[in-house]
Amino acid sequence: MLASSLIGGGMNWWQAILTIFLGNCIVLIPMILNGHAGAKYGIPFPVFVRASFGTKGANIPAMLRAIVACGWFGIQTWIGGASLYNILRAWNPSLAEIDSSSLFPQVLPMICFFIFWALNMFIIYLGVDSIRKLLIFKAFFLPIAALALLAWAIIAAKGLGPILEQPSKFATTADFWHYFFPALTGMVGFWATLSLNIPDFTRYAKSQNAQVKGQIYGLPPAMTFFAFVGVIVTSSTAIIYGQTEWDIVKLAGRFDSKLMVSFAMVGIIISTLATNIAANIVSPANDFANLAPQKINFRTGGYITGIIGILIFPWKLIADPNGYIFTWLIAYSSLLGPVGGIMIVDYFFIRKKELNAVDLYKEKGEYTYTNGFNSTAIIALLLGIIPNVPGFLLQIKVVAATAFPEWISHLYNYAWFVGFGVSGVIYYLFMKKDK
């Protein structure tokens, strides 16, 4: 869907793939850097961030990360529920397509959404270990399913030639660059979440070498491969159906064979369920538990994630590709970029990769700062977010297009980079001065 949304936005096949590849190579850097502390000290993200924000202040970036994860949980759950509904549609064509234009979709799609939501909550109840076999199955199933989808697209479009000849929809080079930079920011924003909480996973790595190689081998090649499949399949829909279909669930629902539709939807359901638990439950569950460890355990944190995931209206977040990239991906990257800048500067430039692991768990210790809050980190965070606020307000259309100077509004197109740089530099200057 990420790759397809770029095609829907006007890019041709190689522009979309290159944008995703570049975005993944860029975000790989903070993922490896933040993963270092997890592998070295065996600490999760909410504990690692105490070093820069303070023992209590760490809850601020942890909650920013958690709320974004709740949004992703809702999006993934909506995709799983929509797949369930499309299985029903395959066997009963009289059922209408899902309408996401209104505040609430039709009753039956919502019921399917809640059924899939309940399945996620049941997995949380059983514990994360219960999904281990599902993850292993997914690791083999997904590449096979992707290759099958690729073969279908090439055959149905009568070869790769017509697909690769689909032109870019941008009239001028300026139009392309105007779309490219926000899109690149969106690609970075896609992984801005895990670039923060990657210590939740690298804490189990056997060595630094293992976590670095694992991420280098696992991220850009895999994302680029699936992006290629997404781009080819989406481009082929313009030839096969006469219009571009960027939503993989709607596309699979168009297949002629009922069994084929059912197989595709089951694949999406399995994939989404496994990914949802691994990527969108582990971090927020840890983050919510960090708020009140005595009262909130991992399971309770997972339930909280599930409830917020409903309240965030996920079907509206992905109703169209522009909203998905410009409102959802870029908006939250403007919040998480500054956190990443502060974490990396603190660990590598202020502390030189040396942490007092024992004090990270003490109420009174090196990382207590002032009543548990490092005011420098909080100020740097706010100053990194502020430059992106005008552009966000314009994007959601709550202010007039002429309310701010154009150059200020355009900073939003580079939200993650602006926030990362501003907060990182300010944090470094103030912390160095205090030292």
Q: Which amino acid is at 337?
A: G
DSSP string, 322-338: HIIIIIIIHHHHHHHHH
CATH of the domain at 421: 1.10.4160.10
Report how far residue 419's alpha carbon sits from residue 196's, in angstroms, rounded to the nearest whole number: 14
Of 331, 327, 318, 413, the closest CA to residue 1 belongs to 318
Q: Phi and psi (nearest 5°) for 255?
A: -60, 145
What is the Cα–Cα distance from 324 to 410, expressed in whole angstroms?
18
Segment 248-273 mean pLDDT:
77
Could you tell me the two tokens for 92?
A: 């009963």
Q: How far apart are CA 290 and CA 54, in angstroms?
A: 13
More confidently predicted of 174 and 395: 174
Gap between the Cα atoms of 168 and 63, Å rounded: 40
Domain holding 7, by residue range, is 2-434
| Residues 28-46, mean pLDDT to the nearest whole number | 95
158-179: average pLDDT: 86
What is this structure's pTM?
A: 0.85
**CA terminus-to-terminus distance, the chain:** 47
pLDDT score recorded for residue 372: 95
248-to-191, 221, 343 alpha-carbon distances in Å:
20, 21, 36
pLDDT band at 320 (very low <50, low <70, confident <90, very high): low
Phi, psi (5° rounding) for residue 389?
Answer: -65, -45
Amino acid at 392: F
**pLDDT top residue among 180 and 434:** 180
The pLDDT > 90 percentage for the chain reads: 41
Three-class SS state of 370: strand
Greater confidence (117 vs 129) lies with 117
pLDDT in tens, 201-236: 899 999 999 999 999 998 899 888 988 888 888 778
Alpha carbons 43 and 182: distance in angstroms, whole number? 33
Look at the chain and report how many structural domains it folds into: 1
